[in-house]
Amino acid sequence: MIDADAVAREVVAPGSAGLAGIVDRFGSQILLEDGSLNRSALASVVFGSAEARRALESITHPLVHARTSQIIEAAPQDQVVVYDVPLLVENRLGVGYHLVVVVTATTATRIARLAGHRGMSEADIRARMDHQATDEQRRAAADIVLENDATPELLCQSVDTLWSSRLQPYDENLRHGHRHRRADVAPLVPYDERWPETAERIIDRICHALGERAPEMEHVGSTSVPGLPARDVIDLQLGVADLRAADDPEFVRVLAELGFPRSQGNSLDTPKDLLPDPSLWIKRYHGSSDPGRAVHLHVRELGSAGWQYALLQRDWLRADAAAREDYLAEKERLIATVSSGDEYREHKEPWFNAVWPRMQAWAQKNGWHP
């Protein structure tokens, strides 16, 4: 485990370049008699000034990042690295990690704990909280939220459950390049308002890892349609200029290490009657290694039939209430009759084929283009 606070103390220890930079910027009054950093004196300066806080961060953050990277690189390959960092949300660091776990508590609980454990005044506590991310921002950045208003023992139980049910199997899948697959069919659930932010969080991670190799990414599929009940599966479409780029070993390696291994054999969307040429429907597919978050990542060539179909279907369903009702009825029918996720996807294809003329008519009437 890496403690960001401990690393932050290490990089400003007496004799360090970090401490020298702080003294140069803020003066020797922020030092104790033994030459070490007077953290309380420094805090009183930076929490009252956004400019001073930014100046401090410009000194310490690169040093913390460099030291943390050293520790992570030195970690044994068979270990899970847990990075405990207070400013992860504020500094948008979540894109660099497989999962973000946020431990939260109500404002009243936090104030009571800080007042009791550290003797801080409520005014001082609130002043510090005002400079931090909001609860809403933390939850939006989190893959997992652990509530911490009860006892430490109950929090430890939550951590143990998370470790055994999600983190360990996720780690095992990552090591072996496996995607997580359910044995049964995921049920339909009511529309979840968190689906779009979940998709955005995953898109940010993938784009951060791939860089220019991910020129276009979209949230598609049922969970991208507000109000539509769906299986709890995030479908993403990664558009590339040339599908051969998706077969580059480095492209495949980066996605696998991020938790999205390539699925062999799943390289073709089902051709539709109006465009039966299979060469127009070629794609690549990556699934998620995370047992707690099902993700289907479809890699398609920009402008291809499959790429356009996914975008048109999403936008048509968003705009047409009758289409949503028809699609939901078909999904409910299939859920009641199939026994596996593969069977469910296969049996949806006739409906997708049948509604394409409706989708195109809607697109022409409304001037839709991808």
Average pLDDT, the chain: 94
CATH topology of domain 188-366: Beta Polymerase; domain 2 (3.30.460)
Question: Please, which residues bridge with residue 282 across strands?
Answer: 268
- Residue 362 pLDDT: 97
CA 171 to chain centre: 16
pLDDT of residue 367: 97
- Please report how many Cα atoms fall inside a 13 Å half-sphere around the Cα of residue 14, on the Cβ side: 7
- Break the chain down into helix, strand, coil percent, rounded to 5: 55, 15, 30
* Per-residue pLDDT at 35: 92
pLDDT higher than 80, residue 48: no
Q: How many CB atoms sit inside 10 A of residue 301's CB?
A: 20
What are the backbone angles phi and psi of residue 92, rounded to the nearest 5°?
50, 50
Q: Reduced to 3 states, what is the DSSP secondary structure of residue 344?
A: helix
Q: State residue 341's pLDDT score.
A: 86
Mean pLDDT, to the nearest integer, of 126-153?
Answer: 94
Per-residue pLDDT reduced to its tens digit, 89-131:
988 999 999 999 999 999 999 999 999 999 999 998 998 898 8
Q: Residue 300 and residue 260: Cα distance in Å, rounded? A: 15
Please write the tens of the pLDDT for every residue from 149-188: 999 999 999 999 999 999 999 999 999 999 999 888 899 9
* Residue 99, helix vs strand vs coil: coil
Share of the chain above pLDDT 90, in %: 86
- Residue 233 · residue 224 · CB < 8 Å: no
- CB-CB neighbours of 228 under 10 Å: 21
Taking each helix axis from N to C end, the angle separating 195-210 and 249-258, rounded to the nearest 10 degrees, works out to 140
- Compute the CA torsion angle 131, 135, 137, 141 (nearest 10 deg): 120
Residue 139, classed as helix, strand or coil, is: helix
pLDDT at residue 292, rounded to an integer: 97
DSSP string, 146-194: EE-SS-HHHHHHHHHHHIIIIIHHHHHHHHHTPPP--SSPPPEE---TT
The closest of 110, 97, 107, 114 to 136, measured between CA atoms, is 107
* Domain residue ranges of the chain, discontinuous segments joined by +: 1-79, 188-366
Q: What is the pLDDT of residue 183?
A: 85
Name the helix (H) or strand (E) containing 216. strand 216-220
Distance from first CA to last CA of the chain, Å, rounded? Answer: 45
- The pLDDT, as a whole number, for residue 167 is 96
* 47 pLDDT above the threshold of 80: no
Q: Class of 1-79 per CATH?
A: alpha beta
| Contact partners, residue 205, CB within 8 Å, separation at least 6 | 94, 95, 258
Q: What is the dihedral of CA 267, 354, 327, 200, to 10 degrees?
A: 40
Measured distance CA(8)–CA(63) in Å, rounded: 8
Q: Dig out the tokens for 134 from the structure.
A: 């909001």
Please give the helix or strand (H or E) that residue 109 lies within, else none.
Answer: helix 107-118
State the DSSP code for 104.
E
Task: State both tokens at 210.
Answer: 């791939």
By the 10 Å C-beta count (0-12 exposed, 13-18 middle, 19+ buried), 141 is classed as buried
Average pLDDT over residues 201-212: 97
Q: Do domains 1-79 and 188-366 have the same CATH topology?
A: no
pLDDT band, residue 6 (cuts 50/70/90): very high
Percentage of the chain beyond pLDDT 70 is 100
Rg (CA), the chain: 25
Give kind and range of the element (H or E) at residue 285. Answer: strand 283-287
Q: Token pair of 199, please?
A: 């998709």
Helix (H, G, I), strand (E, B) or coil at 290: coil
The rounded distance, in Å, linking the Cα atoms of 96 and 83 is 11
The conformation of residue 275, written as its DSSP 8-state character, comes to: B
